[in-house]
Structure 1
């Protein structure tokens, strides 16, 4: 990678870090990236509202087009002092490294613009990955432009610095936030029999969710993680009449997730009917399974080996979800991972900051994928 480009994208990464914004609010982030590309390249840049893409035209219509995707939203995690480029937005920081993903993709765009490529390339800069809302919206570009393959990377701690991890088939799990709301009737705390209290139903639903996730017959890993239980208010004269249980359902395969959810919904309905309650449901942060095409995953391995980067086998999918799965439902492609270091701070923690030392590796690996595709 050209030294000038590496210096530019490192500085860009730090600017993005300073401007950390939450999902669906990434206006300044998007503007910073668009301005960077327009000032430094001749690429066509199209603003799609919450997201944008840049297009490199090769003039070679015989070669299928490739796409590369990055995300640019941050997390609701406070960042204390220490970094010279610390986030200026209180309570918001890039503790997942999406600033690095976007800086690396901008670096690939710089290299393609200056050095050329033998096929058309699309650089997709996506919003709202953390809540699962951006991928589905942006993935339509794959069909719209007839893109043949799509690739993305995520930085990953706990693996050797600069190592490459990639897996055939399912590489990240499907997940969904499910909230079950029970509504009864209030009563004086001294006469609970006059009302309908959902506390028992909420408690039994929590236990049932764990039992359902541990049942036999699933094809892969299945989890139901309770994230919040809220029943009534701290008023000692009034029996509770509202209850809510929120949980994250997670599975290697979408079909298993659907089965688990149906079991929990059905049991909640049964509890409500038996105890004279009404029940309603809410969903949030819905992620598909992320399924790598084996041929594309093999291409990533070949590219890594050609670059001299160590390849580490992935025996199991990562439990964390990734909305890149929406792209992979539209065309073949692969999500791969670059190691931050075996003892590097974990993502989504207060000690984490994207490792600038893997920026160049990401760009070079993308370039080799373009060459070998």
Structure 2
């Protein structure tokens, strides 16, 4: 790494900032204090424009070049997860039932490191945009930012992001053209029948048999074994409930939650139609009423070749070694929505073979990734704007 990017004091400060955020996670759509802390840190770098309240709690800092040129956006995430942390490190979460267990605290620290560098090295041309996006974990944040009129003047010509990835060698990276993350969405199904006395269940209409059949049949709509296959679909039952917790009432209501996952958005359209047809057939045959609603809707995330090329050159310039991983990933990412505006790519940066998995209760972002993450992004900016 070049010595003029992060000195030891700056790295120490970013590490401390990251740990403070780790101890105070906020869930999707509620990142008020996190956004405030981001704004305070960004103000020290004297951006030409600092926007807050983007798509909810999003923050963006813009660093202008001396002459016109491309707009390059680097994006990270603000939100934590509704998972109780069991880590024993001093900076573990102080918020019951919530944790930064996906590394968004570390991603923010990396992008703040880029902001520190931009504060001392303005682009020669174009502009650098640093976006701290809200609500990635529930899939709503990118869409909300894009729909916010305040974001329209920031429209980028290139969008870059990274995500740490446990299981890959620490500090090594993977980035490839094509589909990188699957599409997914949650489906909440409510089945309505008629309650009755438990002594006279024949006078009611229980949704229990249909619930049982859906639990059995919906996963049968899955296809393929890996998202590397062109035809891949996965239906996962994640929650079910039937009736009231009572011994005296035959149930009249049931609820079923399932997650649908496909390689592409086109595949998701086909899978949702098949799921809706199966549910309608079961409900009609049983004489029930039913309704469903969609949650956590993620489009597939596809890396553009030109954006991948930028990352590949930046890896070489920053001395980031390449490694390998089967792609696309089953997990989803809402960063893919920015590809509607411009070429975009997400790089996976290895968090180490011994690092706990993402979303595990004992996960913690490796601070050793802050320095290479900053080096990677600044190398990309140097090539595009300097």
TM-score above 0.5: yes
Post-superposition offset of 1:142:
6.5
Q: Quote the Cα distance in structure 2 between the aligned partners of 1:174 and 1:293.
A: 17
1:333 to 327, 344, 350: 344
Structure 1, unaligned runs of 5 or more: none
Structure-2 change in CA distance of 1:142 and 1:51 (3 Å) = closer
Partner secondary structure for residue 312 of structure 1 = coil
- Please give the residue correspondences for 1:75-224 in structure 2 after superposition, counting only pairs within 5 Å: 75-80=81-86, 82-118=88-124, 119-140=126-147, 143-214=152-223, 219-224=230-235
142-151 vs 292-301, which deviates more?
142-151
Q: Quote the Cα distance in structure 1 between the aligned partners of 2:220 and 2:193.
A: 25
Q: Quick check: 1:69 aligned with 2:80? A: no
253-262 vs 228-237, which deviates more?
228-237
287-296 vs 41-50, which deviates more?
41-50
Post-superposition offset of 1:208:
2.0
Q: Quote the Cα distance in structure 1 between the aligned partners of 2:66 and 2:218.
A: 55
Partner secondary structure for residue 291 of structure 1 = strand
Post-superposition offset of 1:169:
1.1
Q: Quote the Cα distance in structure 2 between the aligned partners of 1:203 and 1:185.
A: 17
- Please give the residue correspondences for 1:356-371 in structure 2 after superposition, counting only pairs within 5 Å: 356-371=367-382
Q: Kindly report the root-mean-square deviation, in angstroms, between the aligned alpha carbons of the 2 structures.
A: 1.8
Q: Quick check: 1:2 aligned with 2:6? A: yes
Structure 2, unaligned runs of 5 or more: none
Contact 1:69 1:152 in 2 (8 A): yes
Post-superposition offset of 1:43:
4.0
Contact 2:47 2:61 in 1 (8 A): no
Post-superposition offset of 1:51:
1.1
Instruction: Deviation per CA, 1:225-263: give whole Å up to 9, x if none.
Output: 100111112323322111111011011111111211111
Post-superposition offset of 1:44:
2.2
- Please give the residue correspondences for 1:35-74 in structure 2 after superposition, counting only pairs within 5 Å: 35-48=40-53, 49-61=56-68, 63-74=69-80
Instruction: Deviation per CA, 1:56-85: give whole Å up to 9, x if none.
Output: 011221x21100101011111223462222
Structure-2 change in CA distance of 1:185 and 1:215 (3 Å) = farther
Post-superposition offset of 1:42:
4.2
Q: Quote the Cα distance in structure 2 between the aligned partners of 1:12 and 1:367.
A: 20
Partner secondary structure for residue 180 of structure 2 = strand
Q: TM-score, normalised by structure 1?
A: 0.95
1:342 to 328, 334, 353: 353
Q: TM-score, normalised by structure 2?
A: 0.92
Post-superposition offset of 1:291:
0.7
Q: When the two structures are aligned, how many residues end up with a matched partner?
A: 371
Q: Quote the Cα distance in structure 1 between the aligned partners of 2:44 and 2:315.
A: 31
Q: Quote the Cα distance in structure 2 between the aligned partners of 1:208 and 1:79.
A: 35
Structure-2 change in CA distance of 1:172 and 1:142 (3 Å) = farther
The equivalent residue for 1:284 is 295
Contact 1:166 1:314 in 2 (8 A): no
Post-superposition offset of 1:189:
2.6
Post-superposition offset of 1:191:
2.9
1:321 to 310, 332, 337: 332
Q: Quote the Cα distance in structure 2 between the aligned partners of 1:38 and 1:370.
A: 20
Q: Quote the Cα distance in structure 2 between the aligned partners of 1:70 and 1:36.
A: 15
